[in-house]
Amino acid sequence: MYSQAKVIAGGLAHIPLVIAVFYFILTTFNKRALKFVEEVKTKKPESKAVEQKKQAVSKSENTKVAKKKHADVPVNIYRPKTPYEGTVIENYSLLKEGAIGRVNHITFDLKDSDPFLNYVEGQSIGIMPAGEDANGKPHKLRLYSIASTRHGDNFNGNTVSLCVRQLQYEKDGETINGVCSTYLCDIKPGDKVKITGPVGKEMLLPDEEDANIVMLATGTGIAPMRAYLRRMFEPTEKEKNKWNFKGKAWLFMGAPKSANLLYEEDLQRYLTDNPDNFKYTKAISREQQNTKGGRMYIQDRVLESANELFNMIEDEKTHIYLCGLKGMEPGIDEAMNKAAEEKGLNWSELRPQLKKAGRWHVETY
């Protein structure tokens, strides 16, 4: 039997439980309420979404502007299935007595191409070597940087020139010759060659006449630079292009021996005629030594000129072009890192900025 006193005591015993439940509900609600206030204060989810949308729009607009800027640059006029058959006009060695290997300057006639195979400085063309591969299939095309301006070496606007090194390496005691580079170095005036392209928008020159152009080339990496320098300094070409270059051009050129320096006479002539606008720095790896007693590479020359070079790079009118051996990229990066450090700059931050601004151009192979 329950006495009144027992009932009261039992009721009192439940009070802490009721308080605990009430406290739990209150704190949970408070936490959620605080979290909500915090979210509104810091995240502002709606405005963040709007901001993201705005960024996406501006990014796509930037891309559109860049695409629009190069919209008139021709690409893929001829594709591998229907290449243009160009005629070889000339094919001669660019090397002097005692040079290593084989590097040729080769010019093709484009005048019979229909549609006309036009191109601009900094682009490449594809070459499809004659013959078949080991599986009896036609050889795949190889790309080559165009070494002539759009007006061609004869200034008639209907030729294209290349600068080609024959690939040769030793394997199991045997000398292996590269398929396409050997084909190109061996072709004779009058021969027909299958050409595709043009391709590439990475190495285009800026339109601005007061831009500064820094060029880092190894071996045949000089090809696009030769086209740029002709556009800037070759008198007849200048009459044709009406591009009155007023900036500073600086070429860093890497070659194994003096006899391997390419287009040297032209470059010396440009130096004599344009002392205030052209600087030419050579790294002749097997004749000169770097400070550590090793082969002199263009990255060693970059380090020697760090201060002057970075003063130029800090100017937003300066573009940097890298072309040639893929293997030079880490070395150049390391040198730029050190050179930037000396100026109190951070290369790993600066390089993506230059790339984004369309001022850092790389084509290595």
The verdict on 271 binding ligand FAD (CB under 6 A) reads no
**How far from 191 is each of 12, 91, 108, 187, 330, CA to CA, in Å?**
111, 11, 9, 7, 40
| Interior angle at CA 265, CA 264 and CA 267, nearest 5 | 65
How many helices and strands, by DSSP H and E, does the chain display? 11, 13
3-state secondary structure (DSSP) of residue 41: helix
Determine whether 113 is an active site residue.
no
Lookup result for tokens 């027992």 = 6
Count of residues interacting with ligand A2P (CB under 6 A): 17
The verdict on 163 binding ligand FAD (CB under 6 A) reads yes
The verdict on 144 binding ligand FAD (CB under 6 A) reads yes
Angle between the 328-342 and 347-356 helix axes, to the nearest 10 degrees?
A: 110
User: Given the complex with ligand FAD, which of 224 and 247 has the nearer CB atom?
Assistant: 224
The verdict on 185 binding ligand A2P (CB under 6 A) reads no
The verdict on 285 binding ligand A2P (CB under 6 A) reads yes
Judged by CB under 6 A, the stretch of 21-29, 43-51, 161-169, 260-268 that binds ligand FAD is 161-169
Which structure tokens are listed for 2?
Answer: 């329950």
Instruction: Name the binder of 178 from ligand FAD, ligand A2P, none, CB < 5-8 A by kind.
Output: ligand FAD
Query: Which position among 223, 249, 261, 302 is part of the footprint of ligand FAD (CB under 6 A)?
Result: 223
Determine whether 185 is an active site residue.
no
Residues 249/279, Cβ–Cβ less than 8 Å: yes
Judged by CB under 6 A, the stretch of 67-75, 81-89, 172-180, 347-355 that binds ligand FAD is 172-180
CB of 164 to ligand FAD, least distance (A): 4
Q: Which of 144, 183, 263, 297 is catalytic?
A: 144
Instruction: Name the binder of 295 from ligand A2P, ligand FAD, none, CB < 5-8 A by kind.
Output: ligand A2P
Residue among 153, 131, 316, 313 nearest 230 (CA): 153
The verdict on 219 binding ligand A2P (CB under 6 A) reads yes
Query: Which position among 123, 161, 220, 299 is part of the footprint of ligand FAD (CB under 6 A)?
Result: 220
Q: Which of 113, 124, 145, 148 is catalytic?
A: 145
Determine whether 92 is an active site residue.
no
Give the number of other CB atoms < 10 A from CB of residue 350.
18
Q: What is the bridge-based pairing of β-strands 174-177 and 360-364?
A: unpaired
The verdict on 161 binding ligand FAD (CB under 6 A) reads no
Determine whether 234 is an active site residue.
no
Judged by CB under 6 A, the stretch of 35-43, 94-102, 141-149, 243-251 that binds ligand FAD is 141-149
**How far from 290 is each of 91, 302, 306, CA to CA, in Å?**
35, 11, 15
The DSSP secondary structure of 78-135, one letter per residue, reads B-TTS-EEEEEEEEEE-PPTT-SS-EEEEEEE-TT-SS-----TT-EEEEE-SSB-TT
Region 29-88 residues binding ligand A2P, contact defined as CB under 6 A: none
Q: What are phi and psi of 3, to 5 degrees?
A: -90, 160
Lookup result for tokens 């339109």 = 207
Judged by CB under 6 A, the stretch of 90-98, 136-144, 332-340, 354-362 that binds ligand FAD is 136-144
Give the interface with ligand A2P as residue ranges (CB under 6 A). 165, 218-219, 254-256, 260, 285-286, 295, 297-299, 325, 327-328, 331
Please give the residue ranges that form the binding site for ligand FAD (CB under 6 A).
124, 142-145, 163-165, 167, 169, 171, 178-182, 220, 223, 363, 365
**Active-site annotation, residues:** 144-145, 323, 363, 365
